[in-house]
Amino acid sequence: MSSNEKAISKRCAEFIPSVLFSDLDNETVSVTKKCIIDWLGCVLGGSSTPASRIIRSIVEDMGGKSQSTFIGDFNKGTVLQAAMVNAYNCHILEMDDVHKSSIVHPAAPVISTAFSLAEYLGSSGKELIEAIVAGYDVMIRIGEAVTPSHYRIWHSTSTCGSFGASAAAAKLLGLDPEQALNSIGNAGSQAAGLWEFAADKAMTKYLHCGKAAYNGLLSSLMAKKGFTGATRILEGDRGFFEAYSEEQDFENSFKDMGKFFRINETVYKPYASCRHTHGPINGILEIMKSNDLSYQDVEKVDVETYDMVLKLAGNTDFTTSPAARFSVFYCIACALIHGEVGVGQFADKYLADPVITQVLPRINVSVSKEMTALYPQKWASKITLTTTEGNIYNTFIEYPKGDPENTMTDQEIENKYMSLASLKLPKSKAAQLLEQCRVIENCQDLSSFFDK
């Protein structure tokens, strides 16, 4: 490694306190608020599920001081518990944001940590935004540096999320570069999360997000009190890069750190499934709508896509909601039959719908070198739909809906938020929280944000 590479851990630590609201352009502030609204909807929606009740029962048994809010029931627990529970809930419905080249979901660990800590500290909305921008940047850059080899075994949202949560917490706690470096060092030693859970369609993925938030926050809280950590956790001989990745050019991901904020590359999810299914869903919905087709009109669908789609979302057992969210076949069938792939399409009555099994034989998904070569910069798919009358429709989805190049508008994000929030809250309460988020930069004290 070059001398520059050896400074990556330190560079991240020095970057964190340098992020100032006054230096952020309007677009970065706007995108960050959009991420907050999107995150809050995902947490509220996730808090309505049976899976949410499992972790809430655990923390209720633990007890603890009333420091920060469990979003959904709006009771309070310790700041560490709240960050963990909210991050866990954020990921349950598979609708939280994504970053393409790093293949991470930043909102769950970063915003959950930042909001819980900001509430506990009574931080301002501007300070919250600073922390989120810092957390996204650190998490995304580390994730990008170790991709793609890391992603084959490790769940990047979990491993890199520990760093992102650490950075967000370090910013809010006012850690100096030395303290921030200690926090990053200890967050890296806790970085974990294996993809093996996918073989069993297990619920582990939610826990990954919760523990990433918990680990990163814990690291910064301890650093604030003088607890030391590895100072070369990323580039050291026994550090994160060496242990977790086969990549070589780690330096490249950090070249413009402090000059361009990676939160501006956020991908938003319009469909309630693994992001790798979104290109095919997007293409099917486009063809069906523009040609006024129903599933009865469809003879066959051929999808050509990149290899990770079938590796992670090639599941053909969709007897449970988590499994179905990772089945590109089920998602395509839903798009054909229902014209949407939202939270509702993963309810038990849809999973057991016999029409799904009738449509599945018409769907073929294959991997091509051309599509795989574009990934992860482009999560692209080619879709060919043939009707029973012999008509053929083609489309190429270069940038699925939600990508920065094909983003969801502010209104679309707010509509998504209201749909998810209403799974848990009366619409009046959901609307009130939305309005507070719209102007969050004007809030001087977030300690009572959820009390109003």
- What is the amino acid identity at position 397? I
Q: For residue range 186-226, what is the model confidence (pLDDT) as tens digits?
A: 999 999 999 999 988 899 999 999 999 999 999 999 999 99
The CATH code for residues 5-268+414-448 is: 1.10.4100.10
DSSP per residue, 385-403 = EEETTS-EEEEEESS-TTS
CA 273 to chain centre: 12
Structure confidence at residue 4 (pLDDT): 44
pLDDT band at 285 (very low <50, low <70, confident <90, very high): very high
For 36, the token pair is: 């907050």
Give 305's strand partners: 367, 381
pLDDT band at 325 (very low <50, low <70, confident <90, very high): very high
Q: For residue range 220-250, what is the model confidence (pLDDT) as tens digits?
A: 999 999 999 999 999 999 999 999 999 999 9
Question: What is the average pLDDT across 264-275?
Answer: 98
**Do the beta carbons of residue 81 and residue 62 sit within 8 Å?**
yes
Structure confidence at residue 452 (pLDDT): 66
Q: For residue range 330-371, what is the model confidence (pLDDT) as tens digits?
A: 999 999 999 999 999 999 999 999 999 999 999 999 999 999
pLDDT at 5 exceeding the cut of 70 = no
Radius of gyration of the chain measured on its C-alpha atoms: 21
Q: For residue range 39-80, what is the model confidence (pLDDT) as tens digits?
A: 999 999 999 999 999 999 999 999 999 999 999 999 999 999
DSSP state at residue 445: -
DSSP state at residue 314: B
The angle at the Cα of 345, spanning 342 to 349, to the nearest 5 degrees, equals 160
Structure confidence at residue 201 (pLDDT): 85
Which regions of the chain carry the CATH code 1.10.4100.10?
Answer: 5-268+414-448
CA nearest to 44, candidates 106, 107, 11, 92: 92
pLDDT at 155 exceeding the cut of 90 = yes
Which regions of the chain carry the CATH code 3.30.1330.120?
Answer: 275-401
Dist CA 161 CA 155 (whole Å):
10
Q: For residue range 66-77, what is the model confidence (pLDDT) as tens digits?
A: 999 999 999 999
Question: What is the average pLDDT across 398-424?
Answer: 98
The CATH code for residues 275-401 is: 3.30.1330.120
**Do the beta carbons of residue 304 and residue 396 sit within 8 Å?**
no
83 burial level (CB within 10 Å; 0-12, 13-18, 19+): buried
pLDDT at 148 exceeding the cut of 60 = yes
